[in-house]
Structure 1
Amino acid sequence: MEKFGRFATFEAALAAFQKFSLVSRGRLVAHPDWVDWLTAVVASPECATRGPGRWSMDWRELWGVHADGEKKLNALRLLKQREQIRIGLLDFAGLWSWEKTTGALSRLADFCVGQVLQVVCEESRVNQTPLAILALGKLGGGELNYSSDIDIVFLAADDENPFAGSLRPMIARQVVAGLADSKGVGSLYRVDLRLRPDGNAGALVPSFSECERYYASSGETWERMALIKARFVAGDAGLGYEFEVLRHQFCFPRHLSEEVFEEIAAMKSRIDEEILSADRKERDVKLGPGGIREIEFLAQALQLFYGARQPVIQVRSTCGALRALSTVGLLPQDQVDALIDAYGFLRNLEHRLQMVEELQTHLLPTEAAARSRIAESLGFSTSEFESKLRSHRSYVHELFQQYFTKKESPSVSIPLELFASPEEAVRNLEALQQRDSLLSAPRATRAYRRLTPFLGKALHLAVEPDVVLRRFVSFVARYGARSYLFETLAANPKALELLVRLFDASSFFSEILFAQPELFEEITQSRSLGCRKGKEEYLEGLGCVRGEAAVGARLYRRGELLRILLRDILGLADLLEIQREYTALAEACLEFACQTIPSGDLAYIGLGRFGGGELAYGSDLDCLCVGSQEQSALAIHRFLGEPLPAGILFPMDYRLRPHGEGPLALPVEVYEVYYRDKAQFWEIQALTRARFVAGEGKTGERFIAMVDRLWRERSRACPLDEIISMRERIEQERHAALAPFQRFKTGAGGILDIEFGLTLWSMRTGKREPNFWNVLADLRTREPDLAGVLEDGYRFLRRVEAVLRRERNQQQEVLPEDPTAWKKLGQRLGFPTVEEFIGAYEGKRKGIRAAYRELCERVRRLPR
């Protein structure tokens, strides 16, 4: 036979190999026919390409016919031993590189794991594999040693079937036994399951959802590094694909900081201190200075830090990662070449150490003769070997230290001077760092340390830092995955600022987030914050709700109310847009109720702010229900207003119906007779804002046509003095016990001055327009100065109202009694001092009152 690698002949190579590898010699002695097999296989062209197909055929030959499960597993153990001798010989002879060797060893392990799972399922009479097996570590990276443990994780689909829940752990335990038990023939592989979620304390076969929750909330940097190499090897391929998506999200986050290098340096320091004794440091080619682990750590740290931005580096093998890092310019080519050269030298050395007796060792022998034999097996003289070893390790360690310098992070704290109650603030800040099962992890500690300066800055901008911090603690507690949350907010301070502003703005909307923390991420990550939605968009969203319609609609409404608030406090929409969006949401919910409950000819007419399209936080829906389906009207009323755990949709107010009592639904003809013959003039005045909003269109059109006709007829005889007197009575009687200063709606110069004045203008000019903004636009064409004062005042007071209403999402017509609350209100409106706010507030009201009086006089002079 011709030259065989670095040996003159195949026979010389085999003799030297058996002399060096005691375990291989023992197996060839026990199975003398393997020598002939080895001679024939190595001489065959297929030698370099042997894989699962050839192994399956050989395995069946080894077990024969009518074999039970145990006989099949024994045959698999013999197949593995025989193939490993073949691979070892080709490696030892220098015909294969270390990368080709580890690739072949890894493929052999994949085959064995898959076949053991198949045998276990057959023996258990399971037709469909109920789990997936993932390989991590060197097997996951396709870099297996001769005597490596195999790191595997079992994974189950989310399934509430109790039988499946008990079957999967049984299958997993039998797979582990099939791999690890020797049965007198020798084991296949030692199995390490400690890389599963929660390690030895975790479920043997965690579900996909359990893995997802664990990695989001508790996954550490070392687990990110481990999962870089995670790879599906057997079982449910669909489940393996799902995990691959999760693995990418976890391993390559966008919000890692450079602290990852400090953390890996700390991990390496712990290895040095806790695992490596003084005499082992220089002998351990894996964990010692300049060893295999330092090269792997360097590659993985750069992958973690840059992987989200550079997908090309998201590879499993160490040398593949190093080459990719060079391709994108993250490591210089000369460094990559040196690292790959060192890695190959150390892996070959590791193979020689393990090849002798197939022991999992990384320690160089102390005896000179043993070191000389290893040097010779690698094709070096002893002096060349020692020189190369020192050179490679020195280079690797020096480069590792350049990237991984453990630094003391400066302590950052939030100043207690921000808070009115420092003692409570201390308790709340401690609650964010409480040492429970999540926060005791180093990941959470680091994440909180990164978050602290951003949180302090955001709290400094808050009007009520004490309240905001209290609400932030409640949100964090309910969010659950606080490590992930802290990392995300630290990486995106704008999101943190928005969260703080929300907590500062409203207890009602804070409680929505406490109940559904996921809403914050859903809204802020979508593009909907920058978009205005109308009735049709809301109806489309309501049409997609699942489960019970009333519950689904309430949950949908919660999310949309929160979106509207965020648009408001971010300044992405002005007052007019917020009113329109809030109104459109109410219309869509009412329309959805009419679609969900058979409503026949029912039509809903909006009055007041609902009719005007100017709803605000906490508004009732002033409505008239037109039609003959009273039971349907009652059902729709319940659908909208029944208190459920998710709240209500919208409160309905029917007090403007004829006589303010009686049936909810009345036909158009009944309304017409009432408004023509019985209604007081203030009821005709209320119809100024009537607008069809939901339900049966033809009924709505008939009603609005009737309103237009009667309104024009009655408006010709508009009793100006009666309307002005009504405004004066409201001013004197409503909230009479409060100071006039507080009554921004009903008091002098309040919102009602504007509304009454504009209604008078509409009725005297004969133009029925439900929306006050449009009436203001009409007034501006003839009385621009008055219109300007009224519009400016209206915007100001409606903003005051909005800030007060959004706190509890309730109606609010007066200022708080506590003067300290005026300061906070002013700050939320953008006034640095309470004096500036009060000055602007009183100035606007004086202007409104003067403009109202002037408008009344000008309306009086208009021709009828």
Structure 2
Amino acid sequence: MREHPALDPLDAALQHSRYLQRLNTATPDLITHEAAEVMHPYDKGSMNAFVAAQGEIVDDGMLKRVLRTLRKRVMARLIMRDISRLATLDEVVKTVTSLAEIGVEQAACHHARWLQPQFGEPIGDETGTAQQLIVIGMGKLGGSELNVSSDIDLIFAYPEDGHTNGPRKLSNHEFFTRLGRLIIATLHEPTADGFVFRVDMRLRPYGDSGPLASSFAMLEEYLHTQGREWERYAWLKGRALTGDADGLWTLVKPFVYRKYLDYGAYASMRSLHGQIRREVARRDMADNIKLGPGGIREIEFIAQVFQLIRGGRERGLQMRSTRKVLSWLGEHRLIPPHATRELQEAYAFLRNLEHRLQYLDDAQTQTLPSQPDDRRQIASSMGYSDVESFEKALQWHRSRVTNHFEHVFTAPQQEGEHPLDDLWQDDEYSEQHTAKLAELGYQEPDTIKQLLSQMKSSTRYRQMPESSRRRLDALLPPMIEVAAGMPNPDGTLTRLIRLLDAILRRESYLALLSEHPQTLKRLANLYSASPWVSDYLTRHPILLDELLDARLLYAAPDWAQTRARLAAELDAATGDAEQQMDLLRHCQHTQLFRLVAQDLAGLLPLETLSDHLSDLADMILAEVVRCCWQALPGKHRDNPLFAIIGYGKLGGKELGYASDLDLIFLYEDDHDNAGENYAKLARRIGTWLSTATPAGTLYEIDLRLRPNGESGLMVTTIEGFAAYQHQHAWVWEHQALTRARFCAGEPSIGAQFEQIRQQVLMKQRDLNQLRQEVYAMRHKMLENRLGSREGFDLKHGRGGIIDVEFIVQYLVLAHAAHHPKLTGNKGNLALLGFAAEAGLLSAADAQAAQQAYREYRRLQHAQRLDGRKRYIVDEIAITPHIQTVMTIWRQVFGQD
């Protein structure tokens, strides 16, 4: 909106509002008073103060007069403030919303009080307590976004059926129906003073033919058995203005917000919008800035489709304000920032224009006037010097809205039949099918055709809902085509069909793939590259959503931001352990999937990937500790003096995709109940990490490295840990200590642990005895490990990963007393370099060992992605590395 020439607020408003002109003629004192107060917003407190100043409201006639007079005052001041640019759009909609809230509150309160002498209070059958009418604001009232001449959409509900306890008994339903009719009349019926708000009740269950007031039981039954998609859309903004808001939200939330990502919402919202478009065309409503192309409704649809799809998982989307939802979508990059900005600008422009259209005659209209004088007046009130420049700006905003709307809602292109339709649709086996599959590049076309036929004839396919089956039928041909373009088409399509079989009954995932056909190529690339990834994604199809936005999928992780967001979600679910466990799993699965996608795209060196996987585990552990302690019964302090120490791959920050977590738990707390409480905490942490929920698992954990192993206590004091390490620990336990670090919990305990670790590692040792003990432990491991006839075991084979690790661990324990740098938990590659700097290995040997270790880890990682559980390779290919490691082993230990 352009700047308006500076005018006296009353003069400016009178020029642009015939309604205000009529008010000024009929009630000049009222206008004079409001003009004097024009610098002050008419907030809810001021409105309540005006009502209170009228004295006791004794009957319905007085209530109507007071509320109608209040409306005139509010409207007069609001028009002056808005036209003169003293009020923001937020102030305007908030002011009108507050007026509606006060009208509803006053009408409900007074009429309930006036009914009670006849009928008494309504009492619930279940609880025996007094019941209160819940007036539910829908639409813009529920969203606190009312326009200045808006209808208000209401629904009446009450918690329990029952009867009143007065002289004339009524059922609760009859009582609240009477009360509802009185509220409507108080607000809606025209009197000599006008009206307060027009009331629309058509959004209630069964519409005009339904009961005026519904019990919670009836409302819940209706929503979950007969509620339609457009009603989900309407209830997004449903808000209790009176009564039990929490009870209502508990009832309505499962209907509005699905626990899964509901991509089926695209089709239903697209259908609803199509009906509106057809009605607009039929009635020639192109000049309607709400319903017409590029209008307010399209902006609302953009915001609300994301709420319907994601609101069940993203609590941040469970809000009612369109502008706040748009901001959230932009901040979380679900729509591009420039789109958010343009939609916000268009929304503000169109809503301001809507208000100016309504200021003309206080009419509920969103249509541009046909009269040239009125158009000039609207253009002027919007700050434009002529109609042409105003209309150009309007068209500019509407075209941008249309562009963004079409980007979100345009249906996938389905131009005629797909050329491979017959491969899926034809039930009869044909040599032509085999030939076509072979031509596409499939190595075993008969097997592929048989796989397709089996799926087509399966009971699971035949029992699918018709809408789901249509989606699947449309998906299969392009999926066959895209898999054919992969280096291993047969394996890729086989894995993709396994995914489809897993989601046959989950229409939302089928909808995601059909609504976003561009995801098929990304999906096929991942399923072609790695059996492990394909299995992971098939087990967790909720991650399909990650394929939609390549910017997010391939963005470097920001762990601080991710943890802050996760913590907020967990805090919002406080008290619901099951939901918190699922939130942790969704977060971990999402981040892991993004990392594996970046890994397969060649964006992450292996060392960087391991760092990220370790950082992810640290973050999850920290939040698990926090949540478990918050919910621990009988805890003796607000924050636990407790720490998690990671060993092995987690401790050395060499975590892989499916690594277990080797953990120990320490505490420093002299409270009498400390040991018992921290043992409970440790057990609960183990449960939260390893229990399988519908969302999967987090990590398998191994606690055998704690002092005294499996026979030891679950948790240990920091003093007890120090004493054990100095006095009782075996050499192999000191070896393990070379790769151990603080991961989560109380940092001061982590600092003490690190001090103890360094003291232990720097102890003076008898080198011959140390050498023999490390050597003996290695050969004990070999005796317990059967060899492989298939090839070389990367981890356990002689000259493999464990031998490199034992060499490094020996060098640390043997020489850290004189070379403190060796106590750094920097990973085996860095420690080999430190050993060379200290003269314990030659630079050439250290470099050769680093190359061998790096290659072993690369091969191990590749085999994990290939779905293998044992890391066996062809020995011939890595013989030089094996020989290097064994040469260094002999130098260090003097024997094989």
State the TM-score, normalized to the length of structure 1.
Answer: 0.46
TM-score (norm 2): 0.45
